[in-house]
Structure 1
């Protein structure tokens, strides 16, 4: 019960951990703590590091998240920030976009299932925070036990596979949760989602949805899946997915010059919602 109360407090407060700089000594291996909270339809895998970071992967009522807390505070008014994650046998860190939480030292991944699969590799884990005008580049070095069981259970609870078959089949994968499309493609016909109906009398003034799709030879978007949406609970992802059958993308001039085809690419992209005043 003490562990459950602690986990609950962590997610209510978004973990007010103290940020520290990189730890370069040989760290001890640490493992995930898996907790199920049936009354909240939640499965949570969480780990606290001596570096001051807390990382959690969770499925809560069908919504999948990966969050990191205890980072150096994000710049004032910044709504997002980039982080590099390098795990297991990865040769280079994968840099992706994260949404800043209510507390400035916490972030939520915009492509959480992608990040969770990397975290599941175990072994040496590095979290890299790029430098800003107010703080230097920070690198956290930690060691994870090579066990993917806890992460796999969080993914399974939200219907996400440990291996995305679309990635296996795709010739090229582009996008890291950035605003809009990845650099290799542009809209020929953009999606036109509508704001969904209000929920309990409330509707957000703005939000975003991050999706991943496989592109066909005509620029159509297939096998699309919502990776994340903020704010949750308003069916923003469903609204965008309904608008995608008419959407089309095309290669940018730079991408076309490489000779690589449009078909067979998997792209991750964001659609922004903003209510006009």
Structure 2
């Protein structure tokens, strides 16, 4: 996968971002700054930190993104990277998968609305990323809670400010299923028809779905997709209508049920 998810032209706001270790003492709390670009149908919220890290949440013409810039550079040719993330004083650090941007110090969330809702709660924010020297860099920052600017980006894209599905979610947008389940019938998406005579050769859509005890996926939502504008998310939704899950052996032995949570996974598209 080559140049991924080009950022909106906010280079003046993001210029000069470089990776750096966070200070030992907690820095002052930062708030989000709201920016509107009507001609692009865009609403953006930005939070910049002295560590060089910048967070951007944006709604552009109905599509929602959240990305981090100023991270240690991702390894060459990597299209995804793992970031540790926690929000709140007592929150556990959770490893999540992010898509590497065209600028390799930038990473795009595969669950942007969910992460935005976490960030809106404010408090201590920790990000852990591996650098090109194979060292782990930890950034410790502070965000003001209940950011109006961040909430406006969610509202602009029709995303809820509170979603009860978040607390029951398993998975972080990888192609593999979370440990709870395995595929009984694998989804087989088709590439949608070209748009304007063009069609991507590869891409992905991240879905969050409930499940019935018989393995059917229900109430699926598109969390993110790349590239946009080609209907990959819609095709991914169609493909899961025919797919089926089943519990893995360990989950079944532990008395787990498919319908107990929300399962997050990606469906990848590749042109043969």
260-269 or 99-108: bigger deviation: 260-269
Mark the runs of 5 or more structure 2 residues left unpaired by the alignment: 1-6
Structure 2: distance between partners of 1:11 and 1:268: 32
The residue that corresponds to 1:255 in the other structure is 251
Local SS of the residue matching 2:235: helix
Note the alpha carbon deviations across 1:2-59, whole angstroms, 9 max, x for none: xxxxx96436997551111232222011110011212111110011111100100111
Structure 2 residue aligned with 1:209: 205
Change (3 A) 1:13 1:272: farther
Q: Is residue 169 of structure 2 the alignment partner of residue 173 of structure 1? A: yes
Aligned pair in 2 of structure 1 residues 180, 12: CA closer, same or farther (>3 Å)? farther
Residues 1:236 and 2:232 aligned together: yes
Aligned to 2:24: 24
Equivalence map 1:50-89=2 (5 Å):
50-89=50-89
* TM-score with structure 1 setting the length: 0.90
SS of residue in 2 equivalent to 1:30? coil
Q: How far did residue 271 of structure 1 move?
A: 0.5
TM-score for both structures, normalised by structure 2: 0.92
1:151 Cα shift?
1.4
Aligned residues: 266
| Partner SS, residue 254 of structure 1 | helix
Comparing 72-81 with 131-140, greater Cα deviation is found at: 131-140
Conserved? CA contact 1:15–1:69, under 8 Å: no
Report how far residue 97 of structure 1 moved.
Answer: 0.5
After superposition, the C-alpha distances for 1:156-196 in whole angstroms (9 at most, x for unaligned) are 1111111213346xxx4210111231122111112222101
Aligned residues of 2:201 and 2:271 also touching (Cα < 8 A): yes
Q: For 2:209 and 2:100, how far apart are their aligned partners in 1?
A: 25
Determine the C-alpha separation between the residues in 2 that align with 1:8 and 1:261. Answer: 42
In 2, Cα distance between equivalents of 1:161 and 1:178: 23
- Are the counterparts in 2 of residues 121 and 146 from structure 1 also a CA contact under 8 Å? yes
Q: Distance in 2 between matches of 1:137 and 1:109?
A: 19
Asked if the contact 1:209/1:236 (under 8 Å) is kept, the reply is yes
What is the rounded CA distance, in whole Å, between the counterparts of 1:138 and 1:115 in structure 2? 20
Distance in 1 (CA, whole Å) between partners of 2:37 and 2:240 is 35
- How far does the alpha carbon of each residue in 1:191-249 deviate from its partner, in whole angstroms, 9 at most, with x for none? 22210111121111101111000111111111100111111111100111122222111
Structure 1 segments of 4+ aligned residues over 4 angstroms from their partners: 11-16
Q: Secondary structure at the match of 1:239?
A: helix
* Deviation (angstroms), 1:262: 1.6
Q: What is the Cα-based RMSD across aligned positions, in Å? A: 2.0
Deviation (angstroms), 1:76: 0.9
Is the partner of 2:73 in helix, strand or coil?
Answer: coil
Q: Are the equivalent residues in 2 in contact too, given 1:15–1:70 (CA < 8 A)?
A: no
Is 1:270 aligned to 2:266, yes or no? yes
- 1:36 equivalent to 2:36? Answer yes
CA distance in 2 between counterparts of 1:27 and 1:9 reads 28
| 8 A Cα contact 1:14 1:103, kept in partner | no
Could you tell me which runs of 5 or more consecutive residues in structure 1 were left unpaired when the two chains were aligned.
1-6
